Chains A and B, each alone.
Chain A
Amino acid sequence: MTDAIRIRDLTWRAGRDFAIRDLSMTVPTGAIYGFLGPNGSGKTTTIRLMLGMLPPADGQIEVLGHSVPRFAHRALARVGFVPERLHLYPMLTVEESIRFHRAFYPAFDDAEAERLRRRFGLREEQLVSRLSKGEAGKLMMLLALAQRAELLVLDEPTDGLDPVIRREVLSALVEYVESRAATVFISSHLVHEQERICDWIGVMDGGRLIAELPMQEFRSGIKRLRIAQAPPTQDAAPFALLSREALPLRDEEWVVRGWQPGMREWFQRAGAEVRDIQDLDLEDSFVELLRGARDNAEETR
């Protein structure tokens, strides 16, 4: 299987305060890749770099086999993009916006655009500047879906939308993916939303990709362990330790990543005992991943 997006050692800097550092990422073709991260972690900047809107300082970006930013326009012809904020021309009506957009995409599907317009309840004569946040989100999604893109890049597409509209937008997205076998790259900080639709997860924090793994592994591989007589170090452990905290009765609570059932033996060999194993939900896993990455960064400093 080829990759829809391949990024290697990407670096970008904005003044002294913010930088994307050595970012490497792979989005397999056909995947729904959830790009998670807290606000300000660099998700939008990564997307802009990926689509050739910002020039990278270093590194390689390939989108649908085209090198970006050099051949970004070729990649963009096959990419449907929904930015985090409304980017359409405010003085155009819904119908004019569709006509404008269609002019740039030869595969644009008029019938699909009309079907989605009716489904989303958008009136043709509505001015873009008068659309509510939900309607604007639906119009941007309509344009991205009607252009028959092979790759959809969605930057916080449901942020700020009410639950009803969010569900409408997501179900239109899922239908599209099922019918077209398209790849989706969806950035969000809404963890539960990603859990429902994504099969890959990338987690970004402070300009770094701190984890990239299949959703199944993310869901089941991060555990909270209660350990008696915990060993002082976890060198050569078959899992990654995200955090450890002392509990009463000299027990410790460890949050680990990459946990497999057979790994209890490692603790037994170290003279410890695993008393309890808890599954974390996606949000807790996300928080623990961030905490672990930040602790590691602190220690490195």
Chain B
Amino acid sequence: MFTQILRTQFKVTRTLVAAFAVTTFAAPALAWRIGASGGYPGTPSALAVRAGFEPVGLILMSAACLLGFLLVAVPWNVDGASRHVYPLSLPLPWRRYVSMRFGAGALLLLLPVLSLWLGALVTLALMELPATLRAYPGGLAIRFGFASLLVYAFTFLLQYLAGRRAPVILLVLLIVVAAVGVLGAAVGAGRGAEQFFRLITEWPGPLSIFAAEWRLVDV
């Protein structure tokens, strides 16, 4: 059963997963090119390299979020087109079907993660790292994996619990988080909003993974 669900989920999301796998594989090489091509003239070599990985880290973080979200939304919409009649008519408890769906999606998440790790290893093998810098290919891939899994799990839970109301709830949550962030920045340190924002974005807050370092190379 699980194999068939995995196969179906793969067929639904294979283009998406392939696009993310290519992106994550190419990201370290892209970062290296930005740093090494003198995108930051006049800066020391190690700083240039480190700075080159900065924007790509942001791209990777956004990609992790988007990947987690789309791996829930796309299969859900395929089932939703027939009002979930097929999964509901299968002879297994809904909870079991949902957990298999979750497992299948989580397994597919691994492909872009592995691809990022391989891309990082290939890039590191081809580049000459300045002596003051160290590379963290495994750390970056794990961070990417956890971030996408976190978004995937949250979106999955929301989608399967709230159904058609999920997009509205998600939008409200995003607005609340953004408002708290803006308010925190506007009213200054020590205020409630800023403290709350720190609480969720600093370790062990649930969103701390997004505020961590997303560079392949660092000091």
Stretch in B34-42, B81-89, B120-128, B203-211 touching the partner: B81-89
A79 to B89, CA, bound (A): 9
Q: A81-B89, A92-B11, A104-B92 are in contact. List 6 more A-B contacts (CB 8 A).
A: A51-B89, A53-B85, A76-B90, A85-B82, A87-B85, A87-B89
Residues 90-105 of A contacting B (Cβ, < 8 Å): 90-92, 96, 99-100, 103-105
Query: Which residues on A are within 8 Å of B, measured CB to CB?
Result: 51-53, 73-74, 76-77, 79, 81, 83, 85-92, 96, 99-100, 103-105
Q: Is the CB of A89 within 8 A of B78?
A: yes
**A53 and B4 form a contact (CB under 8 A):** no
B179 located at the interface, meaning its Cβ lies under 8 Å from any Cβ of chain A in the complex = no
- Compute how far the CA of A172 lies from the CA of B156 in the bound complex, rounded to whole angstroms: 41
Query: Which residues of the partner chain A approach B4 to less than 8 Å between Cβ atoms?
Result: 99-100, 103-104
* Complex contact A103–B78 (CB within 8 A): no
How far does the alpha carbon of A88 sit from the alpha carbon of B78 in the complex, in Å?
A: 10
Of the residues B7, B11, B12, B91, contact of A104 by C-beta under 8 Å: B91
Chain B residues, CB < 8 A from A86: 82
Question: Which chain B residue shows the least CB distance to A84?
Answer: B85
Given A53-B85, A105-B91, are A89 and B3 neighbors across the interface (CB < 8 Å)?
A: no
Residues of A within 8 A of B88 (CB): 51-53
Q: Which residues of B are interface residues toward A (Cβ below 8 A)?
A: 1, 3-4, 7-8, 11-12, 78, 81-82, 85-86, 88-93
Partner of A83, one of B8, B81, B89: B89
B93 to chain A, nearest CB (A): 5
**With A85-B82, A103-B1 given, is the CB distance from A91 to B11 under 8 Å?**
yes
Q: Is the CB of A103 within 8 A of B3?
A: yes
Nearest Cβ distance between residue A55 and chain B, in whole angstroms?
11
Rounded to whole angstroms, the CA-CA distance of A100 and B89 in the bound complex is: 13
The CA of A295 and the CA of B92, in the complex, are separated in Å by 44
Query: In this complex, what residue of B is CB-closest to A77?
Result: B91
Q: Lowest 9 A-B CB distances belong to which pairs?
A: A77-B91, A76-B91, A87-B85, A103-B4, A87-B82, A87-B86, A53-B88, A100-B4, A81-B89
Q: Are B91 and A88 in touch, CB under 8 angstroms? A: no
Interface of A is mostly: loop
Q: Which of A52, A74, A91 contacts B12 (CB 8 A)?
A: A91
In the bound complex, CA of A99 to CA of B3 (Å) = 11
**Chain A residues whose C-beta falls within 8 Å of the C-beta of B81 in the assembled complex:** 90
State A86–B78 Cα separation when bound (angstroms). 12
With a cutoff of 8 Å between Cβ atoms, the chain B residues found around residue A77 in the complex are 91
A-side contacts of B1, CB under 8 Å: 103-104
Q: How far is the CB of A83 from chain B (nearest CB, A)?
A: 5
Q: Are B8 and A92 in contact (CB under 8 A)?
A: yes
A sample of 28 inter-chain contacts (CB < 8 A) reads A52-B88, A53-B85, A73-B91, A73-B93, A74-B91, A76-B91, A79-B91, A81-B89, A83-B82, A83-B89, A85-B82, A85-B85, A86-B82, A87-B82, A88-B82, A89-B78, A89-B86, A90-B78, A91-B11, A91-B12, A92-B8, A96-B7, A96-B11, A100-B7, A100-B8, A103-B1, A103-B4, A104-B90
Q: Are A73 and B92 in contact (CB under 8 A)?
A: yes
**Alpha-carbon gap, A1 to B81, bound state (A):** 40
Q: Give the one of B1, B82, B85 with max A CB within 10 A.
A: B85
| Residue in A closest to B79 when the chains form the complex, CB atoms | A89
The closest CB in chain A to the CB of B81 belongs to A90
- CB closest residue in chain A, given B2: A103
Q: Which residues of B contact A81 (CB under 8 A)?
A: 89
What's the least CB distance linking B89 to chain A, in Å? Answer: 5
Among B3, B4, B85, B89, the one with the most A-chain Cβ atoms within 10 Å of its Cβ is: B89
Question: Smallest CB–CB gap between A107 and chain B, Å?
Answer: 11
* Contact A83:B12 (CB < 8 A) given known A73-B91, A89-B78: no
A73 to B85, CA, bound (A): 14
Instruction: Tell me if A53 and B89 are in contact (CB < 8 A).
Output: yes
Q: Contacts A91-B11, A103-B4 known; A76 to B89 CB distance under 8 Å?
A: yes
- Bound Cα distance from A131 to B78, whole angstroms: 17
> In the assembly, what is the distance between CA of A104 and CA of B4, in Å?
9
Distance in Å: Cβ of A154 to nearest Cβ of chain B = 12
Shortest distance between the CB of A71 and any CB in chain B (Å)? 9
Instruction: Give CA–CA (A89, B88) in the complex, Å.
Output: 13
A90 contacts which chain B residues (CB < 8 A)?
78, 81
Q: Which partner residue on chain B sits nearest A51 by CB separation?
A: B89
Q: How far is the CA of A105 from the CA of B7 in the complex (A)?
A: 17
Q: Which residues of B contact A79 (CB under 8 A)?
A: 91
Best-surrounded residue of B11, B88, B93 (most CB of chain A within 10 A): B88
